[in-house]
Structure 1
C-alpha cells in the first residue's frame, strides 16, 4: 500500500512530467476556497462534460465546479477553475492520445 500506482497517480505523474518539459513548476496543488484541486479529476471531469471547447462554449464551468465539489462559497470558483485548467492542464490536453503515456 505504500507505493500505490493507481490511475489517478499515473495521470498526475504524466501531468507533472509534461509540465516539467514546459518549464511549469507544480510544487503544490492549486487551491480554491482552501481546497486542493485534484488535477487528474479536473481533467477527467472536463472531458466527461465534452472537453474544454464544449465547457467554454456552453458555459459548463459551474457544472464542473459542482462535480469537483468545490464549495459554492469559494470566491470566483468558476474563474479559478478555468485559470487552473488553462495553466496546468491545457498543455497536457493538447497532447495526442499516444503521447499521454507516462
Structure 2
C-alpha cells in the first residue's frame, strides 16, 4: 500500500490532493532535517506520521491547552518529542 493510501485510510480522508501536499511537506521536512536526498522505508513512515500530525492539527492553531477563566492558552512550537527522537536517529551531519 502506498503512502497516500495509508494516509487516506488512517485519516478517513478522500481528498488525495490535500494529503499529497501534507505528505510532500513532511517528506521535505525529513529530508532537510536529516540531510538526506531520498527516504528509506523507515524514514518514509516518519514522514507519514508527521503528515498525520500536521493534518490533525490543522485548524486548531497548535493549541496544546486552553483555559476560559482569565484566558490562558498554550501553543505547541514544534513536533512532539517522540517524532523528534525518531528523526534524530536518522540525522546525518553535513560538512561544508
TM-score (norm 2): 0.36
The structure whose residues are more often strand, as a share, is 2
The structure with higher relative contact order (CA 8 Å, sep 6+) is: 1
